[in-house]
Structure 1
Amino acid sequence: MSNWPDWFQEALRQRFYQLELASEQQASCSSEDNNLFTQMNQFKTDQNEDIQRLLSEWEEAIGDQLSQDKQSIYMEGVKDGIQLLLPVIHSTNIR
């Protein structure tokens, strides 16, 4: 990476720093999520079959939405990467 412009290296450092912070925040919520998941399963078990089915459908819908959100975040990351690389690629083609 030593041949890359300073601004590019700094942009990468900042981006990885942001990702690291987001990852740490997500990890701290992980135990809370596990606790809620356990409570939800217990609640669902205590319900009749119709309510269990509705709750399962709801969980599936939420899971689908989360998958779509994660895919959207991934695509934004790809776009960020392309925006960072394009100026570097164009500058090396000009030389």
Structure 2
Amino acid sequence: MQTIPLTAKPSQTLTLTLALQNCGLKVYQKNTGLYLDLYVAGRLVMAAVLCRDRVFLVRQAYLGFQGDLVFVDLQGTDDPEYTGLGSRWELRYVEEAS
């Protein structure tokens, strides 16, 4: 498991490598919650996925992403908000089981 570094900003974009996959992440806050877009090798894999506490975001192998992403509340079980990203809520990458 790997923690993906996020900061307490309402909108942010990251590029990183996860299990040899060149990934792009967009994390952004709307009135209805925190959302995530996932790109792999420049290809959009998922758009506007609502982020919930301890709920895997990808879940479907057919999307072509190895592993999964999940937000974890370190102080309870609330869904993430941008104000606590990087401190209260962590985004974690979970590798596929071999």
For the superposition of Structure 1 and Structure 2, which TM-score range results when normalised by the shorter chain?
A: under 0.3
Larger Rg: 1
TM-score w.r.t. length of structure 2: 0.20
Structure ranking higher in helix proportion: 1
> Which protein, 1 or 2, shows the higher relative CO under an 8 Å CA cutoff with sep ≥ 6?
1
Larger % of strand: which? 2
